[in-house]
Structure 1
Amino acid sequence: MSNGKIISPALSRRTLLKGTGALAAAGLAIPAWARGQSLSHARNGFGEVSGESIDLTIDNHHFTTGGRSGHAIAVNGSVPGPLIRLREGQDVTLNVTNNLDEDSSIHWHGLLLPFQFDGVPGVSFPGIKPGETFQYRFPIRQNGTYWWHSHSGLQEQAGHYGPLVIDAAEPDPRYDRDLVVLLSEFTPRHPHEIARMLAVGEHYFNRSMQTVGDGSMSLEDRLMWGAMRMNPRDISDVTASTYTYLINGHGPADDLQFQFQPGERIRLRIINGSAMTFFNVRIPGVPMTVIAADGIDVDDVEVDEFQIGVAETYDVIVTPPDGSHALVAEAMDRSGMGVASLTSHAGHRATPPPLREPVNLTMVDMGMGGMDHGGMDHGAMGHDMSGESDMAMDHNMRDTSLLPPDVEVNAGVDMVSPMPMDRMDFPGLGLDTVDHRVLRYTDLRARRANPHRMPTRQLEIHLTGNMERYMWSFDGRQFSAVTDDPIRFAYDERVRVKLVNDTMMAHPIHLHGHFFELVNGADHTHQPLKHTVVVQPGGTATFDLTANEPGDWAFHCHLLYHMHAGMMQTVTVRPFPIEGEG
């Protein structure tokens, strides 16, 4: 694959690899990117490293995009860090050197590997001390689109992340070449300053709050939402008021361009490597065929737009017509967007569409599924409801007797979903009212059949929080309080896990070391495999898990500040299989 601010279609990845092999055979010097060393200032934001032994170095750095500039953490001299390109079936050794003055780490997001190399300090290894080098060694057992990031403190927000692609052992004839599209964000604010501001007031970064005074909210609505201590624009914790949204490390002002030839079938490997942002991805006028979710092949689904949660990946094939087309990653709250151009004319920039109207939450997003089936707006709901109904609704939303007995009720739990409903068919906040085709989890069907096994046990986990205090948890217990009480699975156990979201925010929940099957309406052998699932506000999501990767694994919300505030647990898979039998 060739990457760059302008990407030449004449120089394909296969051509580069063949040329490198010829240089090596002739005993000539091999370019730095092929020796496992990043290009410090690659025009597309990151270099590329590959091979069986790769060196990665973590350093303090400075980053600038548009009018924002500030401290960053760079890997191999760039933010994002280098694209790590591997091949299915190889073994890899990654030597990671930490030059920071604090501990660091790298987690290989979505990879199947021995838990000792998963890279989560305090769960699977002790972390990498300042000045030390840690050696990750594991076989590559899969292919697809993944990414890597720090699991230490809030370093991921500061730039410590990058893409990872594993080429399949057999070539895929469905596309001519591929491009990595890494979505993220940059802020000049220190991550701990953002965490402090969120703890002081969860609306600190929200500039689109509705008020009676600005005419965007009726008095009835204001009274209703005020009684619940909520706001219908509470969509994202951190917004474009401090974030610049990036594509491959470039903000909208940087004019990132991907060049193509008309008629080319291009595989876009789209990664949400952000800390806190859900993105709505579209290329106006160009259909996208989804072929993989979280690195695993699915049956083709043609869409015009899809929402990608934090830490998810989607692969799509596009065949853009001649011209320039805007590749748009609009933040879910519609406060800003990342923009690049797909162009067949070098130097031509596509005109992006304007930001759409901000999104409002509904009664369904508050777990009132039986009261609002998604068709009512807040104006109608507020107008029709009496004060007594408002009080009854408020009472129900805070009636902790509705929670099962294993949920710990404390100051960190201030909401309950009275009527949570399965929301696998929901396309994401703001996309349920657009007039074009949008992706839903119910559209996903595994391309290859999975072994059919019925679950032998069911587990229900509640996603809990107190938005005003910025406390987040599973079952009312924050991570610091549950480190000695992990979620336990027997090795090779088949479990059906139901996640119940008792909060008004969407949560991308990620399980390390495993893929699970979404219970999304597909037949048992074609439930799609994923490692991250978005649980919609006031809704439920269910998956079937075969716990066949032994060890201790992190299980958490991938919104960085939610995880930092406690929405994380450890999953323990025991016993280990007997050598030669597992």
Structure 2
Amino acid sequence: MHTNRRKFMLGSTGLLASGLAVPAWARGESLSHARQGFGEVSGERIALSVDRHHFGVGGRKGHAIAVNGTVPGPLVRLREGQNIRIDVTNNLAEDTSIHWHGLLLPFQFDGVPGVSFPGIKPGETFTYEFPIRQSGTYWWHSHSGLQEQEGHYGPLVIESAEPDPRYDRDYVVLLSEFSPRHPHEIARMLKVGEHYFNYQMQTASEGDMPLDERLMWGGMRMNPRDISDVTGATYTFLVNGHGPMDGLEYLFAPGERVRLRIINGSAMTFFNIRIPGVPMTVIAADGMDVAPVEVDEFQIGVAETYDVIVTPPAGSHALVAEAMDRSGMGLASLTSHKGHRATPPPLREPVTLTMADMGMGSTDGAHGGALNHDAPGGSHGGMDHSGMDHGGGDASPAMDHGSMDHSMRDTSNLPPDVKVGPGNDMVAPMPMDRMDFPGLGLDKVDHRVLRYTDLKAARPNPHRMPTRQLTIHLTGNMERYMWSFDGEKFSAVTDDPIRFAYDERVRVKLVNDTMMAHPIHLHGHFFELVNGAGMMDQPLKHTVVVQPGSTATFDVTANEPGDWAFHCHLLYHMHAGMMQTVTVRPFPAPEDEA
């Protein structure tokens, strides 16, 4: 039976499709909750225990960190309006922590060692205590070292104070990855060679890239298949801790409206989500309700969450989470017949970067042209940039590649406050706003794909005009695997935070000078995407994906005092230095003194 390397990488899905028996090692052996993948905790006081563990899936076994005995850790289910106390006991031989991703809370309980608290020492118990001020789909994870990669993460659902009539059945879909390699070994390999895990490099004759572009990529020593730093070469992609051969099922009755709370709890993987033949209605992004929008597929960046409602017909349907670089997939079955597995689609062809991904302009609107807010229908306009000036678009006409004066390694165009050195050797010559771009690999599909420009707040947001603008460059040296903001990694700026005045309204423009997509997360706040929606309809998010060679803009009201982490949520990028601290001062006076 003929196969190729890419199909073999998926392995388990191929066996599933062929109907072969599932071997014992593929059944999530270390999971004590075989069907769900994790337990559930709730109530006014919750206890979590962090321990060393072993984990095995898909023939890969290795060391892990378990919380309450499972990888992932338990679903923490809370309710809006309650006061919660969570006791976290550290049974490791090293410090640990838990960050409550997307929650609004006092900064000292945000769980970032060195920023908002000292961490949890071995043998100690730390009590998190805070009121629940919101509802929606979130998650939690360690913010200590690389523990998140080892299994120290889990889902978090906050039930709304009022019943939600939009669905009949409710499921968590937690996406992640597992590698038998220790994360510090992965970090070392990335330092040695940034393409270490990339088995999808182009050959001299593969694809339809023009010769002049091939020569240009080669001259800059860059790889147009550099989509993901860590791939299916070492990762098994998981849904609720289960590999693609485990047969994870989500049961439903025909006619039911099923809510899927999709969480990207991975360390490094963007996923493309689809249920072939079943449309999805997006109703929330990052826990916040949005106006419903029906799509057939969407890309979810690391640390983002999307809630969708589906009404599948009777039968079994593949719930597919395909890695953005298409080196593998997570898989489950949405089925009305218990024990019946859906047949998954094959992996699609690998993605190849373009000139637009290098920040060198775009020759067609379908591949990430800047927004035209005056276009009919609002969000999907062409390349007319005359109507846009919100600090996010530095648009340019199509380029003559043969006479190009700039390259990703020319840093002369960076502003003077952006540090140039060994850790910053890239600059996007002409970055454009790409809020209308659906994600790498999804701009050429023939079905409906979600774009940030499709998102609108479900209810109007009070709006204030920003009083100042802040521009931050996302920088790095891919060959040395160094990542930073404004050319300086976190260890160099720990005493020089980004400063916001309490209740200040700021427009933040992120300029991605690199060839990789970065999911940028601000702790303790929600911001409004400047995505072409009306001022009061801009959607709230806590994480925004900044596409390669592009800009993204958001408005934030700094109304949560304290010190907050601000970083790329690709774990190894953050570990290498792509992080800053945002400090919001002064603290407001207590209400009884105001």
| Equivalent position to 1:115, from 74, 95, 107 | 107
Q: Is 1:65 matched up with 2:57?
A: yes
State the match for 1:126 in structure 2.
118
CA contact (8 A) 2:95 2:122 kept: yes
| Aligned with 2:351 (options 341, 353, 359) | 359
Mapped pair 1:140 → 2:132: yes
Alpha-carbon distance between aligned partners in 2 of 1:425 and 1:152, rounded to the nearest angstrom: 35
State the distance in 2 between where 1:487 and 1:375 align. 33
What's the counterpart of residue 197 of structure 2?
Answer: 205
Residue type of the alignment partner of 1:148: W
The code of the aligned residue for 2:215 comes to L
In structure 2, distance between residues paired with 1:285 and 1:216? 30
- 1:515-564 Cα offsets, whole Å, 9 max, x none, are 00000011111100000000000010000000000000000000000000
- Amino acid of the residue matched to residue 344 of structure 1? S
Residue in 2 that maps onto 1:174:
166
Structure 2 residue aligned with 1:515, among 522, 526, 531?
526
Q: CA deviation at 1:224?
A: 1.6
- Cα deviation for residue 211 of structure 1 reads 2.2
Question: Residue 222 of structure 1: CA displacement?
Answer: 3.4
Question: Partner residue of 1:578?
Answer: 589
Q: Which residue of 1 aligns with 2:331?
A: 339
Residue deviations 1:263-298, cap 9 Å, x none?
Answer: 010110000000000000000000000000000000
Residue identity (%) = 83
Whole-Å separation in 1 of the counterparts to 2:70 and 2:353 = 38
**Residue 529 (str. 1) matches residue 521 (str. 2):** no
- Which residue number in structure 1 is paired with residue 443 of structure 2? 432
Alignment match of 2:471 (pick from 453, 456, 460): 460
- Say whether 1:79 aligns with 2:71: yes
Asked whether the equivalents of residues 506 and 535 of structure 1 are also in contact (C-alpha less than 8 Å), the reply is yes
* Alpha-carbon distance between aligned partners in 1 of 2:546 and 2:206, rounded to the nearest angstrom: 32
Do the aligned partners of residues 435 and 214 (structure 1) sit closer, same or farther apart at CA in structure 2, a change above 3 Å counting?
closer
CA distance in 2 between partners of 1:202 and 1:41 (Å): 37
* Matched AA of 2:560: E
> Separation in 2 of the partners of 1:291 and 1:388?
46
1:21 corresponding residue in structure 2: none
Q: Structure 1 residues 215-224 or 147-156, which shifts more?
A: 215-224
> Displacement of 1:405 after TM fit?
1.3
Structure 2 Cα separation of the partners of residues 424 and 319 of structure 1 = 29
1:222 to 203, 214, 220: 214
The 1:146/1:215 distance shift into structure 2, 3 A limit, reads: closer
Deviation at 1:212, TM superposition (A): 1.0
Per the alignment, residue 379 of structure 1 pairs with none
Mark the CA change 1:446 to 1:410 in structure 2 (over 3 Å): closer, same or farther.
Answer: same
Aligned to 1:423: 434
**After superposition, where does 1:185-196 map in structure 2 within 5 Å?**
185-196=177-188
Query: Could you tell me whether the CA contact under 8 Å between 1:41 and 1:77 is conserved in 2?
Result: no
Q: How does 1:261-280 map to 2 (within 5 A)?
A: 261-280=253-272
Q: What is the identity, as a one-letter code, of the residue corresponding to 2:295?
A: V
Distance 1:134 1:527, change over 3 A: same
Match of 2:501 in 1: 490
Partners in 2 of 1:372 and 1:554 — Cα distance?
A: 37
Specify which of 567, 575, 578 is matched with residue 578 of structure 2. 567
CA distance in 2 between partners of 1:355 and 1:465 (Å): 30
SS at match of 1:464: strand
User: Are 2:360 and 2:399, in contact at CA under 8 Å, matched by a contact in 1?
Assistant: no
TM-score under structure 1 normalisation?
A: 0.90
Of 119-128 and 396-405, more deviation after overlay is shown by 396-405
Q: Does the CA contact (< 8 Å) of 1:397 and 1:418 recur in 2?
A: yes
**Distance in 2, Cα, partners of 1:500 & 1:364:** 14
Give the 5 Å matches for 1:288-299: 288-299=280-291
Which amino acid in 1 is paired with 2:440?
L
| Corresponding position of 1:17 | none
Q: Whole-Å Cα distance in 2 between the matches of residues 493 and 100 of structure 1?
A: 41
Whether the aligned pair in 2 keeps the contact of 1:83 and 1:162 (CA below 8 Å) is: yes
Cα distance 1:458–1:353, how it changes in 2: closer, same or farther (>3 A)?
same
CA distance in 1, matches of 2:39, 2:190: 34
Distance 1:368 1:374, change over 3 A: farther
Mapped to 2, the partners of 1:322 and 1:541 lie a distance apart of: 41
Tell me the distance in 2 between the aligned counterparts of 1:69 and 1:167: 35
- Secondary structure at the residue paired with 2:245? helix
- Alpha-carbon distance between aligned partners in 2 of 1:187 and 1:404, rounded to the nearest angstrom: 40
Residues 60 and 71, structure 1, Cα contact 8 Å, conserved in 2? yes
- Which ranges of structure 1 fall in alignment gaps of 5 or more residues? 1-38, 377-383
Deviation at 1:42, TM superposition (A): 4.4
Q: Deviations over 1:182-203 (max 9, x none)?
A: 0000000000000000001000
| CA displacement at 1:386 relative to structure 2 | 8.9
Contact 2:511 2:552 in 1 (8 A): yes
1:9-158 equivalence runs, <5 A: 40-158=32-150
SS in structure 1 of the partner of residue 272 of structure 2: strand
2:169–2:252 contact (8 Å) kept in structure 1 = no
Question: What is the DSSP-based 3-state SS (H/G/I as helix, E as strand, rest coil) of the residue aligned with 1:365?
Answer: helix
Partners of 2:102 and 2:241 in 1: CA distance: 21
Instruction: Quote the Cα distance in structure 2 between the aligned partners of 1:207 and 1:571.
Output: 38
CA contact (8 A) 1:95 1:133 kept: yes
Deviation at 1:449, TM superposition (A): 1.1
2:420 aligned partner: 409
CA displacement, residues 443-477 of structure 1 (integer Å, 9 cap, x when unaligned): 00001111110000000000001000000000001
1:562 counterpart letter in structure 2 = H
Deviations 1:223-258 (A, max 9, x none): 221111111100000000000000000000111111
Provide the rounded CA distance (Å) in 1 between the counterparts of 2:150 and 2:73. Answer: 11
- Contact kept in structure 2, 1:362 and 1:374, CA below 8 Å: no
Find the counterpart in structure 1 of residue 388 from structure 2: none
**1:319 to partner: Cα distance:** 0.5
Aligned counterparts of 1:371 and 1:319: Cα–Cα separation in 2: 39
Aligned residue for 2:289, secondary structure, equals: strand
Aligned partners of 2:410 and 2:425 also within 8 Å:
no
Query: Using the alignment, how far apart are the partners of 1:231 and 1:89 within structure 2?
Result: 50
- Deviation digits for residues 361-394 of structure 1, max 9, x if unmatched? 0000000115565569xxxxxxx999953xx35x
Decide whether the 8 Å contact of 1:306 with 1:427 is kept in 2: yes
Is the partner of 1:253 in helix, strand or coil?
A: coil
* 1:43 shift after superposition: 2.8
Instruction: Please tell me the residue identity of whatever aligns with 2:170.
Output: D
Name the residue aligned to 2:155.
163
Partners of 1:287 and 1:374 in 2: CA distance: 22
Shift of 1:215: 7.2
Q: Among residues 493, 512, 515, which one is paired with 1:501 in the alignment?
A: 512
Amino acid at match of 1:84: V
Give the SS at the match of 1:301: strand
How many aligned residue pairs are there?
535
1:364, 1:373 within 8 Å by CA — same for their partners in 2? Answer: no
Contact 2:363-2:399 within 8 A present in 1 as well: no
8 Å CA contact 1:420, 1:538 repeated in 2: yes
Secondary structure at the residue paired with 2:284?
Answer: strand
